[in-house]
Amino acid sequence: MAQVKLGERIVADPEILGGKPLVAGTRLTVELILGQLGRGQTPDEVSKQYGVTRDDILTAIRFAAETVGRDNFAPAL
């Protein structure tokens, strides 16, 4: 199955990390970015540590916000 574009810079491929949403061209998941920000790292620190741009980080945040804002969102139990 081919890579699916989920947004500006977010993609998913079932062959890479089980299809988790990633920053395009990396193996950096949206989950990891949000986790690092949630632990208190700044976007600039995440950018420097993982080699992604500030725009990649902001796109990951927008993707996550849109995902949880969908009408059919169902949290994992």
DSSP states along 2-49: --EE-SSSEEE-TTSGGG--EETTSS-BHHHHHHHHHTT--HHHHHHH
CA angle 38, 34, 7 (to 5 degrees): 155
* Digit-coded pLDDT (tens) for 7-28: 778 998 889 999 999 999 999 9
33: tokens are 């970015």
* Digit-coded pLDDT (tens) for 30-41: 999 999 999 999
Does residue 42 register a pLDDT over 90?
yes
The set of long-range contacts for 35-43, using a CB threshold of 8 Å and a minimum separation of 24, is 37/61
pTM, full prediction: 0.82
Q: Percentage of the chain with pLDDT > 90? A: 62
